[in-house]
Amino acid sequence: MQAGLPKSIALALVALALVVGCGGDDDGEESSLPEGCAEVAAPAPKEAEAERRARPPAPGARAVVETSCGEFVIELDVDRAPKTAASFAGLAEQGFYDGTSFHRIAPGFVIQGGDPLGDGTGGPGYAVDEPPPQDFAYLRGTVAMAKSGAEPPGRSGSQFFVVTAPADAGLPPDYAVLGRVVEGFDAIERIEQLGEPGGDGPPTAPIAIERIAIEDGG
């Protein structure tokens, strides 16, 4: 955790070390789902390794993220982050994200997913290094890659987060940029509703990533 930072940054995706237990144990209580979210079983943890794709998609490529709370679309930042975009697109095309979850919700800050283990500790078996510009701001709708505090700026695996803060999340430029949400933010808002108010942890009901499809630009 970054010492001396505001509370909002202390909640940040310094994440692999910070996120704990996406449990499937809800003590038998039923959670009310937002309208537009389907009731699903908690995705089972899966050991997964993937091949790293080196060739970035064409400029304008988009990732269509299908979830149990609806669909949203990420425009990949191929120009500023070609290695990150290439890795993410390759993982999606290999089906790496299919049947994973959003395991961390910090309402008013971020939602985080993309871990095959579902507890914030998993990844694809490789890492990518691509630091963002030093003046980069993580504005609402920005999609970036999660990392632990011990890892260097711009390092990423498979976990990603979407900024839901009203404006700027106030994060330092340590997290590799993936892109921005251009459609379907209502689905992200539904996912966010399944976080504990004022909390930072697992959702109150399972949220599945069913599939991520890459649409080439050009």
In this predicted model, what pLDDT tens digit does every residue of 156-195 receive, in sequence order? Answer: 999 999 999 999 999 999 999 999 999 999 999 999 999 9
CATH of the domain at 175: 2.40.100.10
- Quick one: pLDDT at residue 218? 61
- Quick one: pLDDT at residue 217? 74
End-to-end CA distance of the chain: 40
Reported pTM: 0.86
Residue 18 placed within a domain: no
Domain around 121 = 58-215
When divided into structural domains, the chain yields a total of: 1
